Amino acid sequence: MIDSKKILLTGGTGLIGGSITKTFREEGHKLKIISRTNHEFTYGVQWILFDLASDKLLDSNYFNEVDVIVHNAASLKAGISDVEISELESVNVSFTRKLLDKAVEAGVKRVIFTSSISVISKPLPDIISEESELAPATPYAVSKLAGENLIQTYAHKFGFKYNILRISSPVADHFDLMPQTVIKKWIESAVAGNDLIVFGSGKRSQNFVAVSDVVNTYLKCLDTKAPSGIFNIASPDLLSMKELSGIIANKWNVGVRFSGEDANENDHWNISVDKAMKLLDYHPEYNSRTSIFKLLESCKF
């Protein structure tokens, strides 16, 4: 049984953050949540309204008696304009630095950070491990790697423990929680009775991981005796775009059409989770296919 912790969580209302909030509350942990908006959860949760993109200083009182910081908040902007790039820098880098400054000042013992598998260099290696070469190709991925580097630098200097979780493509338990990814767009198209459009031949393969498996890993990090480090959190298999579109199309009896080219046609996100399995006792309940089937079962239209 995990002892009750006092946790400061950033980003407690999104795809992963909302599930962290719900699960941690159910496990009896006390939460302070830094967020731009409130949520319906109130019992066991202290909501701290704060715009991460602002220049305001964080109140030191937020960090009183905090055992663990779970830094999940992030801007997801694509970085296609100066305004978006500025937001990525403010939220994903500058705020992370402010958060770590306060964590060190308060003597916080552990930081858990949500990162992304998108920091890996392309062309992708046959097996993606935590030691694979890094070369983030998008402004968002660049900002997540900057966050990783900040955490490791602060931890080395000040001695707190950390877990950096590089998440692959997360799949929600329920459709209404899904962000506007290709999965959601294809489901919406199929529900409307339209054929699904797949770019290229559909051989690009993705690694989809159930949010419930991701959140269970955060729980295990709270009390882990594993050394600080970076961990891939993914499912044990891959799903091609061709197969994914077929699964969704079959549910609503629509067709699949192939069109144009896919610039990432040869990408195969074959992610090793051996390190997480060994050190964090990570054993996902779902694989890429069953996480999709679970999502589709939640669709009541």
User: Tens of pLDDT along 162-212?
Assistant: 999 999 999 999 998 898 899 999 999 999 999 999 999 999 999 999 999
Same domain flag for 54 and 107: yes
Same domain flag for 89 and 187: no
What is the reported pLDDT for 39?
A: 64
Instruction: Pick the closest to residue 130 from 166, 105, 104 (CA basis).
Output: 166
CA distance 19 to 211: 7
1 Cβ neighbours under 8 A, 6+ residues apart: none
Among 115, 148, 167, the domain boundary falls at 167
Q: The domain spanning residue 265 has which CATH number?
A: 3.90.25.10
Residue whose token pair is 């993109």: 53
Q: Is residue 12 part of a domain?
A: yes
3-state secondary structure (DSSP) of residue 200: coil
Domain count along the chain: 2
CA distance 24 to 12: 11
With beta carbons less than 8 A apart as the criterion, state whether 292 and 247 touch: yes
Same domain flag for 34 and 151: yes
Q: Is residue 274 part of a domain?
A: no
What is the reported pLDDT for 36?
A: 78
Same domain flag for 77 and 107: yes
Instruction: Pick the closest to residue 270 from 228, 211, 208, 207 (CA basis).
Output: 207
pLDDT (tens digit, 9 = 90+) per residue, 106-141? 999 999 999 999 999 999 999 999 999 999 999 999
CA distance 221 to 43: 23
Same domain flag for 27 and 130: yes
Q: Is residue 58 part of a domain?
A: yes
CA distance 209 to 211: 6
Q: Is residue 226 part of a domain?
A: no
pLDDT per 10-residue tile (average), the chain, 301 residues: 85 91 93 80 79 86 95 92 94 96 96 98 97 96 98 98 98 91 96 97 97 97 95 96 98 97 95 98 97 94 79
Q: The domain spanning residue 110 has which CATH number?
A: 3.40.50.720
What is the reported pLDDT for 145?
A: 98
Same domain flag for 25 and 65: yes
Q: Is residue 251 part of a domain?
A: yes
Among 143, 167, 191, the domain boundary falls at 167
Instruction: Pick the closest to residue 285 from 216, 207, 184 (CA basis).
Output: 216
Same domain flag for 64 and 181: no
Same domain flag for 79 and 182: no
Same domain flag for 148 and 190: no
Q: Is residue 113 part of a domain?
A: yes
Same domain flag for 13 and 158: yes
Q: Where are the alpha helices (DSSP H) in the chain?
A: 15-26, 82-88, 95-106, 139-158, 182-191, 211-222, 241-252, 274-279, 288-297
With beta carbons less than 8 A apart as the criterion, state whether 167 and 225 touch: no
Among 141, 167, 193, the domain boundary falls at 167
What is the reported pLDDT for 53?
A: 85
What is the reported pLDDT for 14?
A: 84
Q: Is residue 185 part of a domain?
A: yes
Same domain flag for 14 and 63: yes
Q: Is residue 230 part of a domain?
A: no
Other C-beta atoms lying within 10 Å of the C-beta of residue 37: 8
Boundaries of domain holding 65: 6-167
Question: Would you give the end-to-end CA distance of the chain in angstroms?
Answer: 39
Same domain flag for 39 and 67: yes
What is the reported pLDDT for 104?
A: 97
DSSP state of 120: B
